A and B are shown apart, each in its own frame.
Chain A
Amino acid sequence: MLDPAIIFAGVLNGLLAGGIYVLVAVGLTLIYGVLHIINFAHGSLLMLAMYAVFFLWRLLGIDPYVALPLVIGGAFIFGFVLYRLLIGRFSHGRDENILLLTLGVSIVVDNAALLFFGGDTETIAVPYAGTFVELGAAFLPLPKIISFVASVLLCAGLGIYMAKSDTGKAIRALAKERHGARLVGIDVDKLFAVSYGIGIACLGAAACLLMPTFYVTPSSGYAFVLVAFTIVVLGGMGSFTGAAVGGFLIGVTESLGGLFLGEQLGQIGISLIFILILLFKPTGLFGGGR
C-alpha cells in the first residue's frame, strides 16, 4: 500500500497536470459547442502556438508567462482569420466539409512545421525552472504552480466573459439555437469565427503555460489533444463546465493510475473512468440531450 503522503502528492500532481488539460479541452469544447464540429487541427495549432512561445523566448527573450497576452491575442487573430478565410469560406455550411478542412489544416501545419522548424526537440530554460514549493511529500515546481493558477484564472475569466458579456451571450445563444440567433440579428458567421478564435486562443494560453515544463516538436501537440478529446466527451460535448471538471478528473485519475498501476498501465485508469461515466451518463458529466 502506498504511503498516504505519496497519494496526496500524486493528487496534487494530477491537479497541476489537469490545469493544462482543462485549457486545451475548453478550447475544443467551445468550438464543438458553437460550430458542432470536432476540430481536428487542435493538436497542430497547439504545436504552432508552442513554437510561437519558443521563438518569442529564443529570439526576443520574452518569458513564456509574459508572452501570455501576446500569444493569446495572436492565437485569437490566427484562429479568427483561419476560420474566415479558409474554414468558413470553403465549408459551404456543411459539417463534413469543416471536418475535412480542419484535418487538412492539421496535415499542412504539421508538415510545414517539420520543414521550417525541423524535427528537433526545442525547450525553454527559464531561470526559475528549478524553484519548487514543498508541500508534504510533494515537490511542486514553481512553473507548474504558476501554470495551474493561470489556467484556473483564465478559465474562470472565460467563463465570466461567456456568461456576462454580450458576445458571450450571443455565442451561447448561437450554440443553443443557430437559426434563432440569426433571426434576432446576431451575426452568425462572425460569431463562428470569434468562437473558433477563442478556442485557438485557449491553445495559445496552454502553450505559454506548457513550455516552461514541456518541449515542442512538430508532433508534440498530439500528446495533449488526444486526452483533450477524452475530456470533452467525458465532460459532455460542448459543455464548458464539463471540460473544466473533466480536465481535473482526468489529471488526477492519470496521476493516481500511474502511482497504483505503473506509468504504462496507469493510462487504463483514464479509459476506465471514461467508460464508467459514459455507461451511467451517455451524454457525459454535464452534457445535455442534444
Chain B
Amino acid sequence: MKKQIGVSVSRRGFVAGSAAVAAGSLGFPTIGGAQPAPVKVGFIHPVTGFVAYNGQQARLGVAMAVDDVNKAGGIKSMGGAKIEPLLGDSQSKVEVGVAEVEKMNEQGVAAYIGCYQSPVGIAASQAAAKYNTPFLIDVGASDLIVNRGLKNVFRLKPGFGVCVDQGIAALGALNTAAGGVAKSAVIVHESGEFGTGTAKLLGGKLPSIGIQVKELIAHDNPTRNFDNIALRIRSLAPEIVMMSNYQNEYVLLARTLFQQKVNLAGMFSVLGGGFNYKFIKEMPDVSQFMMDTNHWFNPKSAKAQALKKRVEDGGNLFTFEVYLAYTNVAFLADSLERAGSADKEKLLAALASSTFKAELMPYGPTQFVNGQNQGARAAVMQSLKGDIEVIAPEEFASAKAVFPKPKFS
C-alpha cells in the first residue's frame, strides 16, 4: 500500500510515523512502470533532546517539501526520480550527528540536509566532506560552518554575521530616531557556539551605534533560574538587553525580566530561539515590544502564505525551521534538476552555481561564495499586540516599531 504524507500533517502524527514516512510515498515504485531509482537524501535533526521541538518542526518542513516535490513529478531531468528521505535524529549530540552521516552514507545518500544546531552541523558536514557528499545547512547560525573551505557545504540562509549586522543596523536606526535613548546594553547568551559567537559579534559591533556593552552574561542549557541574571541586569541598569539563546531559556529569561519588572528601553535578540508565534500568542504581556532579528518568511509571498495556511491547518506553527527546511529541499530538488543526476560532482557543481529563487524568503538573488548564499538576509520583527510584525527591511515591513518601550508603572 502506498502511504502518502498528508498535506496538512500534524507534528505529533509525523513524529509517530517517522519510520513510515521514510518508507512511504516517497520511495515505492508503482507496479508495472519502470521507475527511476529514487534519490536518497539524509535529513539530520534533533527530534529528541532539549531542542526536540525545533527538530520536529524541521522534519515537518521536510515532509511537506518532499511530498510536494514528489507529487509534482519528482526530478524530471532524472526521469521523474522521487526523493527518498532517510531520517536521522542527532539527539542534539555532535557524535550522534556524525554517526548518522556515516550510517546514511552506507545507505547511499546523494546529499544531506540538517542539523539545526551549529556544532552538530559543523561536525556532520565535516564527516560528509570525506565522501564529497553535498551538505545543505537548513538551520545553523555559526559562520564557522562556511568558513572552513569545505566544498560540500551550502547554506542558503544567513549566518549570524549577517544577522548581527542587520540587527545592529536596525537597532542603530531605531535608537537614532528615538534620540539616542539607549546608551548601554547587557548581552545574555547561551554558552554554546551559537550564543557565544553571536554575543561576541554583538559586543564588538554595538559601540559602532553608540551603545556600550556593560557585560556579557553566559548561561548553560538548561538554566533553571534567571533570577540572578535579572538581578545583575537591574544593578547594571542598561537600556537594552540583548538575548541570544535557545527557546526554553529565551522564554524563561523574558518571563523573569517581566516578572521582576526590569525597566528597559528594549529587549532585542539576534536569532532569538524563542521568538515565535507560540511565545507571542501565549505570553502577549511578556513578549510585548520585544524585538528579534531572525529568519522570517516573506509576508508578501503568496506561496509563503499558502504554505503557512497548510501548516497551521495541520495544527502546527509556521516557525522558521519549517520554511527553512522546506526551502532547502526545494533548493536541492532544483539543483538535482539542473544536474540531471545524483552524481556528487555534478550535484556539487549545480549547487555552487545555483541561482535558485527562494520564493518563501525575503532574500536577494541567490549566489554562493564559499558555500554561503550572498543574497541571504534576515528580517527584524517586533511583538506587537500579540502578533509578530516585520519592522525591517522596510520593503517587507508590516508595522512601525515601538521604541523605547513604555516603562513598567
- Determine whether the beta carbon of A3 is less than 8 Å from that of B55: no
B12 near A217 with CB under 8 A, answer no
Please report the C-alpha to C-alpha distance between residue A154 and residue B259 in the assembled complex, in whole angstroms: 25
Q: Which of B51, B52, B229, B258 contacts A114 (CB 8 A)?
A: B52
Residues A141 and B48 in contact, CB atoms below 8 Å apart: no
Pick the contact of A130: B52, B224, B234, B258 (CB < 8 A).
B258
Min C-beta distance of A95 to chain B, whole Å: 29
- Residue interface bits A255-266, CB-to-B below 8 A is 1, else 0: 100110011101
Binding site of A, secondary structure by majority: helix, strand, loop or mixed? mixed
A-B contact count, CB below 8 Å? 125
Decide: B234 and A115 in contact? CB cutoff 8 A: no
Find residues 10-42 in chain B having any chain A CB closer than 8 Å to their own CB: 11-12, 15-16
Q: Which residues of A contact B47 (CB under 8 A)?
A: 119
Q: Report B242 CB to chain A, min CB distance, Å.
A: 16
Q: Tell me, in angstroms, the Cα distance from A266 to B56 when the chains sit together.
A: 33
> A121 and B274: CB pair below 8 A?
yes
Q: Does A13 sit within 8 A of B, measured CB to CB? A: yes
Q: Which stretch from B171-179, B212-220, B304-312 is at the chain A interface?
A: B212-220
Among B47, B51, B224, max chain A CB count under 10 A is at: B224
A213 at the A/B interface (Cβ < 8 Å)? yes
Inter-subunit contact B285/A130 (CB<8 Å) = yes
Are A263 and B15 CB-contacts (below 8 A) given A119-B55, A123-B282, A141-B259? no
**Residues on the A chain within 8 Å of B218, using CB:** 262-264
Q: Which among B11, B52, B251, B283 has the greatest number of chain A C-beta atoms within 10 A?
A: B52
B231 near A259 with CB under 8 A, answer: yes
How would residues 1 to 29 of chain A score, 1 for a CB under 8 Å from any chain B CB and 0 otherwise? Answer: 00100100110010011000000000000
* A116 at interface, CB cutoff 8 A: yes
Q: Are B234 and A120 in contact (CB under 8 A)?
A: no
Quick check: A116 and B12 within 8 Å, CB to CB?
A: yes
Q: Does B252 contact A (CB under 8 A)?
A: yes
Knowing A6-B231, A139-B234, A141-B259, the reply to whether A264 touches B52 (Cβ < 8 A) is no
A104 at the interface (CB under 8 A from B): no
Q: A98-137 vs B: 1/0 string, CB under 8 Å?
A: 0000000000000100111011110101000110100001
Give, as a whole number of angstroms, the nearest-CB distance from B15 to chain A: 6
Contacts of A125 in B (CB 8 A): 282-283, 285-286
Chain A residue nearest to B229 (CB atoms) is: A263
Q: Check B132 for interface membership: any CB of A closer than 8 A.
A: no
Point out the residues of chain B lying under 8 angstroms from A267, CB to CB. 220
The residue in chain B whose Cβ has the minimal distance to the Cβ of A125 is B283
> When the two chains form the complex, which single residue of B12, B251, B261 contacts A215, counting CB atoms closer than 8 Å?
B251
Q: How far is the CA of A119 from the CA of B14 in the complex (A)?
A: 12
Asked if B260 lies at the interface with its beta carbon under 8 angstroms from chain A, I say yes
Cα-based distance from A71 to B282 in the complex (angstroms): 23
Instruction: For the complex, give the distance between the alpha carbons of A9 and B260 in Å.
Output: 12
Q: Is A218 an interface residue when CB atoms closer than 8 A count as contact? A: yes
| Chain B proximity mask over A58-89: 1 for CB below 8 Å, otherwise 0 | 00000000000000000000000000000000
A-B contacts, 10 listed (Cβ < 8 Å): A13-B225, A118-B12, A121-B274, A137-B235, A213-B255, A215-B251, A215-B252, A217-B50, A219-B222, A263-B223
Closest 4 CB pairs of A and B: A119-B52, A119-B53, A141-B259, A13-B227
